[in-house]
Amino acid sequence: MSRAVLVTGALLIALGLGVFATKTLVYRLPVRAAETRGLWQVELRVTVRGDGRQGSVTALLPGPVEGQVVLDERSTSDRLQFSIRARDDLRVGVWQGRLEGVHEIFYQFRVQSRGVAMPLPEGPVAEPPAAIAKSYGRASHEFPASALEVRDSLDRLALPAAESALDRVRKVFAYVTHEIATAGSAGSDALLTLAQREGNETGKARLLVTMLRAAGVPARLVRGLELRELAPPEERVWCEAWLGSVWIPLSPVEGFFAERPANLVPLGNGGRELVEATGAQAVGYRFRSIQERLRPEEVALLMEPENPLLAAVSLYQLPVGTQSALRALLLFPLGALVVALFRNVVGVPTYGTFMPLLVAFALRGYPLAPGLVLVAFVLAIGVGTRLALEGLRLLMVPRLSLMLCVVVLSVAAFSLVGDALGVREFFAGVLFPIVILTMLVERFTIAIAEEGPRAALVPLGWSLFVAVAIHPVFRNRWAEHLMFTFPELSVVVMGALVWIGGYTGYRISDLLRFRGLAAEGTQG
């Protein structure tokens, strides 16, 4: 290794470690990812189009609900006025102004959710307050509690005496949960759900609320988000029943009773949709979320005005979508370091320098075994297609494109199968890198033709081996936290890469290959 290489590498490493040390020792940023289960960052992005009339967009916002704390709410919106209206435990964000052309609205918050488990009242419970009974106990268009068929069903359930509200709730809950089937394609109307003995999530929730009200228990619908790792949040609907002096959450689909899992964030109750617009031609919205690895007070360090320098270079201030993309991207230097070690220090052959990196990235969202099955599947389909096309004698670029089409179609087919088996969105994150695997197929088949199957399998095996070695790095939360919170560590990786690049010693493969010559040297 030359002096210049040694010094350059050392300078880069010193620079990166210096910044890292300052941030950890002076500003006390945590090196280890905190055990922050239930700490999430959520972003709502609304796109609204108008033709110049006055209008407004309203969205349900997370409220001060038992079991969750909402922090750092922020909103940016072009040309619209933002305000928050709060009434009781319902909070609504309103963006209003003249809607002209396309407006983009971002609303972002952090939420610490630990879920709740309510103590159930023992013995008879007090009558609900008049206000509650008035708002949530009556039949309505949405909850037709006085409909004949609802009364009939209740009669068949043979509900216990009036004083045991808890038992009544239990019985009705059990009935809707177990006797009514859940089907995503079924209706969302309470009576239809009852008649057909099946309904979608909203249908079952409405039926439960309707029957509870008919049984004399105030109840209401709750809308919210289910936050998921490595997948966008899903809109969910569940219910709340007034028992004694509190609202207890219950879901006839998920089956929870008097508790709420930590990954469910309620956004509002009542008839409102999550996002509504008036005076607009079109409105669309999307939620995004990422799981936080820093405690709220640690994030505050990075955002606080007293550390302007730190705040300026902190990636935590970016939109959620950008943040989650960067979290993945900043792992690439680490992965590249692993590739460089394998190629230049160990000396294994792989197809293409970054092929293992891409395969590992493709498998990032999934456990290793199913991921490898997927890669094997794509390779098999691709090689099969390649061999089938051989007889047609097509030119290279159209032939490669044909293989690409087949790979894309088979991924689509596999997604359908996965969906039918209940493994939803199995392929969401894989799609892009899978397509790149087409190139791997081509190189593999050429190698088979040129050098025989055995010689072709060796680099393929090593490519997958290196990908498997990178896989845990890509899935490691601590690594993700480190590289994202301390981007300067990428500079340390660069220093290490300079050193590997200047390493002129033997590779392990050299040692194996030329070991016979070494014996020669020591004898002489």
Q: Give the relative orientation of helices 355-362 and 332-340 as an angle to the nearest 10 degrees.
A: 140
Burial of 84 by CB count in 10 Å (0-12 exposed, 13-18 middle, 19+ buried)? exposed
Nearer to another protein among residue 11 and residue 511 (C-beta): 511
Q: How far is the CB of 389 from another protein (least distance, A)?
A: 12
**Tokens linked to 264:** 């469910």
CB of 506 to another protein, least distance (A): 4
3 binds another protein (CB under 8 A): no
Q: Which residues within the stretch 487-516 sit at the binding site for another protein (CB under 8 A)?
A: 501-507, 509-511, 513-516
For the bound state, the minimum distance from the C-beta of residue 398 to another protein, rounded and expressed in Å, comes to: 10
With contact defined as beta carbons under 8 Å apart, do 459 and 466 qualify?
no
Question: Which residues 399-458 are close enough to bind another protein by CB under 8 A?
Answer: 446, 450-452, 455
Interacting residues with another protein between 342 and 381 (CB under 8 A): 344, 347
Amino acid letter, 46: V
Residue among 209, 235, 225 at smallest CA distance from 135: 209
How many residues line the site for another protein (CB under 8 A)?
33
Question: According to CB under 8 A, which residues from 157 to 216 bind another protein?
Answer: none
- One DSSP character per residue, 493-517 reads HHHHHHHHHT--S--HHHHHHTHHH
What is the signed CA dihedral for 247, 250, 256, 261, rounded to 10 degrees?
-60
Please report how close the Cβ of residue 230 comes to another protein at its closest, in angstroms: 34
Tell which one of 148, 158, 309, 517 touches another protein (CB under 8 A): 517
274-278's contacts with Cβ under 8 Å and 24+ in sequence apart are 274/59, 274/60, 274/223, 274/235, 275/44, 275/46, 275/57, 275/58, 275/59, 275/60, 276/57, 276/58, 276/59, 277/48, 277/55, 277/56, 277/57, 277/58, 278/55, 278/56
Q: Which is nearer to another protein, 21 or 512 (CB)?
A: 512
Residue number with CB closer to another protein (27 or 506): 506
Nearer to another protein, 82 or 506 (CB): 506
Amino acid present at 4: A
Do residues 237 and 201 make contact, with C-beta atoms less than 8 angstroms apart?
yes
Q: In this complex, which beta carbon is closest to another protein, that of residue 229 or of residue 510?
A: 510
* Nearest-approach distance from CB 519 to another protein, in angstroms: 7
Establish if 521 lies at the interface with another protein (CB under 8 A). yes
User: Which CB, 74 or 515, lies closer to another protein?
Assistant: 515
Rule CB under 8 A: say whether 523 interacts with another protein: yes
Q: Which is nearer to another protein, 347 or 418 (CB)?
A: 347
Burial class for 329, CB neighbours closer than 10 Å (0-12, 13-18, 19+): middle
We find the least distance from the C-beta atom of residue 512 to another protein, in angstroms, to be 9
Q: Which is nearer to another protein, 325 or 449 (CB)?
A: 449
3-state helix, strand, coil in the chain (%, to 5): 50, 25, 30
Cβ of residue 38: shortest distance to another protein, in angstroms? 49
Q: Which is nearer to another protein, 130 or 396 (CB)?
A: 396
Tell me the C-alpha distance between 211 and 151, whole Å. 8
Binders of another protein among residues 301 to 320 (CB under 8 A) are: none
Positions 378 through 397 that interact with another protein (CB under 8 A): 393, 395-397
> Rounded to whole angstroms, how far apart are CA atoms 241 and 442?
60
Residues in contact with another protein by CB under 8 A are 344, 347, 393, 395-397, 446, 450-452, 455, 501-507, 509-511, 513-524
